[in-house]
Chains A and B, each alone.
Chain A
Amino acid sequence: METQTLIYIFVGFSFAVYIGIAIWSRAGSTKEFYVAGGGVNPVVNGMATAADWMSAASFISMAGIIAFVGYDASVYLMGWTGGYVLLALLLAPYLRKFGQFTVPDFIGTRYYSKAARVVAVVCLIFISFTYIAGQMRGVGIVFSRFLDVDITTGVIIGMGIVFIYSVLGGMKGITYTQVAQFCVLIFAYMVPAFFLSFMITGNPIPQLGLGSTVNDGSGMYVLEKLNLVLLDLGFAEYTAGQKSMIDMFAITLALMVGTAGLPHVIVRFFTVPKASDARKSAGWALVFIALLYTTAPALAAFSRLNFIETVNEQSHSVAPDWFTNWERNDLIAFQDKNGDGKMQYRAGEAFAGKPEFTGEVGSEGERIIANPANGDSENEIYVDQDIIVLASPEIGNLPAWVIALVAAGGLAAALSTAAGLLLVISASVSHDLLKQTFRPDISEKGELRAARIAASLAIIVAGYLGIYPPGWVAQVVAFAFGLAAASLFPAIFMGIFSKRMNKEGAIAGMVSGLVFTFGYILYFKLINPAANGPDSWLLGISPEGIGVVGMALNFGIAIAVASVTAGPPLEVRKLVNSIRVPRGAGEAHVH
């Protein structure tokens, strides 16, 4: 059967499953809509959390980033997994014991203040929207690359699917579709990785393969050979880093703390029956995440090595099929600078920016590029980092159904994260802004309707941002973590671990952390991007890692302000006592 037909079958079938689950698990109450009724098994919730967490970026882009920067990409591997330790040890069980529906619920109640709740809602909406636009874009990209429809149509189809199961099923629908989506995405990720690992090292387990010798009789280890080959072509060693130690440190910490402060991840732990289940569930979530996160570095190294060996110094006319396939999709380009018809892959950019194809075909069958060549480098190959995952089935010579599986997996990763984000946005509007702040007399039915309307509106906004991505989306999407680290995490943490922290301190801390971090990112990314370099960075910390300074500022200001203002009232101190103790978690509150 043709690849294209298989892709339609796989994607169509996975969509049918998601919609079927949505109809089966329709939410009937606000409690089901917000926290899936609070009775989700911890292992199931762990799996849903993993799908919720692993976005289009984790699935499509991460291995590519690792492949092209090597050691420096460890910040993502450690940062996006280490956050689960913080969640399991410092936040999740206590928030579950608290037993409400949303993150602003906790902040508003713990800091006995509507203002604190509204500040938390603002932080949450800001973080979630920057994140969700990237997901919808990811949906559009997968559609356009695998299904030959344009990005706009792809985004609209994605919006339709998410609409059906998140608006209908709420958290209940999302939870069970996320379980299905996790199975699809992890299978799609692992199959090509097994084959590539076996092909290159003879060991099918990628995590072991990366530490083994190459299968070519040289007796060299994979990483040893990769270092050698890269040095030869003028690149830095794969296992050596370019980033400064302080920046590595700051980015890793910002990503860890940010992960623990992301509202759509935190709310997943409101759905398990007990506080102790929240701990277990975080452990299971990390097991499922680690499957992909420990495979990614192996996939990255194998693909990079394979890429160099099959492309470098080959003439374009005999380039592998996947090379020409993805050249047709604009992800790869070849500019024959020295006119020898062979593809020289070297350090440095072949040309500036993305390739502009003229529509003509060169003597070797390559697509001609209009970009002026970069004379400083002998490199003739342009390669988009997403290629590492997208082309992995073809690089491994796998059958067409694996390609179809990767398409379905990429969509599952993007849709599951988008749905989780939509839910926290809609809950913060219907529950925190309406029910708890502006319209306390709203009925349960009215609140549920408001939640569905809010989810619908959020989907439309997210879809719009996906179709017409404003420049800032791509620029700031990675910074949602810094913002979460600087605003929500300290407020939640101190709400649990300090009985002295009061509303004045928490609000001042959140606002200053958010404003500082946002301002720093805005300055270096939008206002004065020319200055974005280690020399002008504060303490040598890049905008990606600045959330750590924002977090320190948040803690410092909160503690200083709290020490000169009145302590929290007695009920709040009792509330803190009660959330610290697991007994009596019972069910999530029904209002």
Chain B
Amino acid sequence: MDAHHNTTEPIPAAEEIAEDGETALREDAYWHENLRLLSGLMAIWFAVSFGAGILFRDLLDQFMLGGYPLGFWFAQQGSIYVFIALIFYYAWRMKRIERKYDLDD
């Protein structure tokens, strides 16, 4: 697993990558958990920007958030706040998932 590739070879040498079945299984499980997390977060990413800010804007604009029509707020403010939250949540969850599979850096 040690991969300090101080070689002239741009591709990591094959023997440096884990080959044994147990590690491969762990990496596989880790990757699938990552993909599940990603699809959930990407769905939220889509919902707050393209959903609330564009597709369903007229519907949401019937509601007010202070002086903001809600759809307009999502398009010019809210989506950006949610984007930040998504990234930090992902960074935090991934760290936990990596530790669980003993693959963290």
Interface residues of A (CB under 8 A from B): 66, 71, 74, 77-78, 81-82, 84-85, 88-90, 93, 97, 99-100, 105, 108-109, 112, 207-208, 210-213, 221-224, 239, 241, 245, 248-249, 252-253, 256, 274-276, 279-280, 282-283, 286-287, 290, 293-294, 297, 436, 570-572, 574-575, 577-578, 580-587, 589-591
14 further contact pairs, Cβ within 8 A, besides A239-B69, A276-B104, A589-B6: A66-B76, A82-B49, A82-B83, A89-B87, A100-B10, A221-B67, A252-B54, A286-B87, A290-B80, A571-B14, A581-B27, A584-B1, A584-B105, A590-B6
B residues 31-87 in Cβ contact with A at 8 Å: 31, 34, 38, 41-42, 45, 49-50, 53-55, 57, 61, 65-69, 72-73, 75-77, 79-81, 83-84, 86-87
Contact (A589, B65) CB under 8 Å given A82-B79, A274-B105: no
Q: From residue B21, how far is it (CB to closest CB) to chain A in Å?
A: 13
Give the CA-CA distance A283 to B54 in the complex, in Å: 24
- Give B65 Cβ to nearest chain A Cβ, in Å: 7
- On whether the beta carbons of A276 and B98 are closer than 8 Å, the reply is yes
B contact residues around A293 at 8 Å (CB): 80
Interfacial chain B residues near A207, Cβ < 8 Å: 77
Q: Answer whether residue B17 sits at the interface, using C-beta atoms and an 8 A cutoff.
A: yes
12 contacts between A and B (CB under 8 A): A77-B76, A82-B79, A85-B41, A105-B10, A211-B66, A211-B67, A211-B73, A221-B67, A223-B68, A249-B54, A286-B80, A294-B77
User: How far does the Cβ of A396 sit from chain B's closest Cβ, in whole Å?
Assistant: 20
Q: By the criterion CB–CB under 8 Å, are B68 and A210 in contact?
A: yes
Number of A-B contacts (CB under 8 A): 171
> Which B residue's beta carbon lies closest to that of A208?
B66
Docked-complex contact A248 and B17, CB < 8 angstroms: no
In the complex the two chains form, is B67's CB within 8 Å of A297's CB? no
Contact B103 A583 (CB under 8 A): yes
Closest-CB distance, A467 to chain B (whole angstroms): 36
Tell me if B100 is interfacial: C-beta within 8 Å of chain A. Answer: no
Query: Which B residues are CB-close (under 8 A) to A241?
Result: 57
* Chain B residue nearest in CB terms to A214: B67
Q: Is the CB of A82 within 8 A of B45?
A: yes
Q: Tell me the complex Cα distance, A210–B75, Å.
A: 14
Interchain CB contact under 8 A, B80 and A578: no
Contacts of B6 in A (CB 8 A): 589-590
A88 near B31 with CB under 8 A, answer: no
CA distance A85 to B85 in the complex (A): 10
- A223 and B67 within 8 A (CB): yes
Tell me if B67 and A89 are in contact (CB < 8 A): no
In the complex, chain A residues whose CB is within 8 Å of the CB of B105: 97, 274-276, 582-585
Q: List, in ascending order, chain B residues with CB within 8 A of A99's CB.
A: 5
Q: Give the shortest distance, in Å, between A203 (CB) and chain B (any CB).
A: 10
List B contacts of A584 (CB < 8 A): 1-4, 105
- Tell me, rounded to whole Å, the shortest Cβ–Cβ distance linking A210 to chain B: 7
A224 to B65, CA, bound (A): 12
Residues in chain B near residue A586, CB distance under 8 A = 3-5
The distance from the CB of B29 to the nearest CB of chain A, in whole angstroms, is 12
CB closest residue in chain B, given A293: B80
Given contacts A222-B67, A581-B30, contact A297 B77 (CB under 8 A): yes
Given contacts A100-B10, A252-B50, A589-B5, contact A279 B61 (CB under 8 A): no
Q: Note all chain A residues with C-beta closer than 8 A to B84.
A: 283, 286-287, 290
Tell which of B38, B42, B55, B90 touches A245, judged by Cβ atoms closer than 8 Å.
Answer: B55
Nearest-CB residue, chain A, relative to B79: A78
On chain B, the residues within 8 Å of A252 by CB distance are 49-50, 53-54
Indicate if the CB atoms of B50 and A249 lie closer than 8 Å. yes
Q: Which residue of A lies closest to B61 (CB)?
A: A239
Beyond A212-B66, A276-B95, A591-B8, is A578–B17 a contact (Cβ under 8 Å)? yes
Contact B4 A276 (CB under 8 A): no
Among B41, B65, B73, B83, contact of A81 (Cβ-Cβ < 8 Å):
B83
Contact among B27, B34, B69, B83 with A577 in the assembled complex (CB-CB below 8 Å):
B27
Cα separation A297 to B73 with both chains bound (whole Å) = 10
Given A82-B49, A109-B11, A574-B14, A279-B87 contact (CB < 8 Å): yes
With a 10 A CB-CB cut-off, give which of B14, B55, B76, B79 has the most chain A CB atoms: B76
Tell me how far the C-beta of B50 lies from the nearest C-beta in chain A, rounded to whole angstroms. Answer: 6
Q: Across the interface, name the chain B residue whose C-beta is closest to A220.
A: B67
Q: A283, B67: Cβ atoms under 8 Å?
A: no
B17 near A574 with CB under 8 A, answer yes
Residue of B nearest to A578 (CB): B17
Partner of A279, one of B16, B73, B90: B90
CA of A99 to CA of B6, assembled, Å: 11
| A residues less than 8 Å from B83 (CB atoms) | 81-82, 84-85, 286, 290
Q: Contact: A85 with B87, CB < 8 Å?
A: yes
Q: A45 CB to closest chain B CB, in angstroms? A: 14
| Chain B residues whose C-beta falls within 8 Å of the C-beta of A587 in the assembled complex | 4
- Which single residue of chain B is at the shortest CB-CB distance from A585? B105
B67 touches A213 (CB 8 A): yes
Given A85-B87, A580-B31, also A574-B69 (CB < 8 A)? no
**Among A282, A575, A582, which residue has its beta carbon within 8 angstroms of that of B12?**
A575
Contacting pair B3 A210 (CB below 8 A): no
Query: A589 to B67, Cβ gap below 8 A?
Result: no
Tell me, in angstroms, the Cα distance from A93 to B30 when the chains sit together.
15
Q: Are B90 and A88 within 8 A (Cβ)?
A: yes
Residues of A within 8 A of B77 (CB): 207, 210, 294, 297
Query: In the complex, are the beta carbons of B38 and A89 less than 8 A apart?
Result: yes
CB of B8, distance to nearest CB on chain A (Å): 6
Specify the chain B residue showing the minimal Cβ separation from A93: B94
Instruction: List residues of chain A with CB within 8 A of the CB of B86.
Output: 85, 89
Complex: A109 Cα to B30 Cα, angstroms: 24
User: Can you name the residue of chain A whose Cβ is closest to the Cβ of B102?
Assistant: A583
B 10-24 binary contact with A (CB < 8 Å = 1; else 0): 111010110000000
How long is the Cα–Cα vector from A100 to B87 in the complex, in angstroms? Answer: 24
When C-beta atoms are compared, the residue in chain A nearest to B54 turns out to be A248
| Closest 4 pairs (CB-CB, A-B) | A221-B67, A211-B66, A584-B3, A74-B75
Is there an interface contact between B49 and A89, defined as CB atoms closer than 8 Å? no
Partner of A582, one of B17, B41, B45, B98: B98
Q: Would you call B4 and A81 a contact (CB within 8 A)?
A: no
